[in-house]
Structure 1
């Protein structure tokens, strides 16, 4: 069977998302690029300044928001990762003295994960720096651009929630 020959123009349009009228694909790629770039910068900074991964920082952030702690399943849902991934993160944070496991009062098969005092203090110090990094990354954008992005992404979020996407 002979290979299908594609004209250079058609091949280039398929490989170049900016070619033709593929606004939805361009939008998705732009969102992905921006999110990945910001995450990469934050990962690099938090690792170099605090010696912690962004995933562990995110887990500490989830725990800092709730006074009564969270189960592993609750953390995995909030962070949108598997229980196995959370177990590994929690193990390391327990070793570091940032979190502790406590037996669940009504389900002995489950543990509640809570911040230690040291973990809360360290997280709050990191969170202040993290906030400044994010502000610095977005600082060059005009306020109307920021407002437009926020409104547009809010509409996208509502649309995705409504459609189950």
Structure 2
């Protein structure tokens, strides 16, 4: 291994640590402030972006999770009245999932707090830092 290779490995470990720390903070925030989980928030965010709803397969692809994981989260959200399933064009085999009005309202409240928490997590970075980091990360992750 070269010195540069070792530095890249240390950078990768640091990046994972920062990501995991931020994710743990957000999980704790969502649990304490909203009585919800990060997976529930992620599903609601995907449905908020796609107001016309998505199929379960599309939702799984958007979230990079298995159909089973997505189904379990949607089941709980539906039981809480935050999402609803609807047969697509009368075909009971194709189900679209979308936020209910209550789900939309709940998500928008959570999203404001989530944004404030992310802002606090990254508050020590200047605008220049953020642009540089975005540029660096856009070049990372693609082996030559």
Tell me the residue number matched to 2:132: 148
Partner Cα separation in structure 2 for residue 49 and residue 74 of structure 1: 29
Partner Cα separation in structure 1 for residue 131 and residue 84 of structure 2: 40
Q: What is the Cα deviation at residue 24 of structure 1?
A: 2.1
Tell me the residue number matched to 1:54: 38
1:17-40, Cα deviation, whole Å (9 max, x unpaired) = xxx550221122111111111100
**Which residues of structure 1 form unaligned runs of 5+?**
1-19
Structure with max Cα Rg:
1
**Which residues of structure 2 form unaligned runs of 5+?**
none
Tell me the residue number matched to 1:11: none
Q: CA RMSD in A?
A: 1.9
**Which protein is richer in strand relative to its size?**
2
Q: What is the Cα deviation at residue 115 of structure 1?
A: 0.3
1:90-147, Cα deviation, whole Å (9 max, x unpaired) = 0000011000000021643121001000000000000001000100111112222222
Tell me the residue number matched to 2:51: 67
Tell me the residue number matched to 1:91: 75
Partner Cα separation in structure 2 for residue 26 and residue 78 of structure 1: 30
Partner Cα separation in structure 1 for residue 80 and residue 14 of structure 2: 37
Work out whether 1:137 is the aligned partner of 2:121.
yes
Partner Cα separation in structure 2 for residue 126 and residue 114 of structure 1: 17
1:9-59, Cα deviation, whole Å (9 max, x unpaired) = xxxxxxxxxxx5502211221111111111000000010010000110010
Q: What is the Cα deviation at residue 155 of structure 1?
A: 1.6
Please give the secondary structure, in 2, of the residue aligned with 1:108. strand
Tell me the residue number matched to 2:8: 24
Give the alignment's TM-score, normalised by structure 1.
0.81
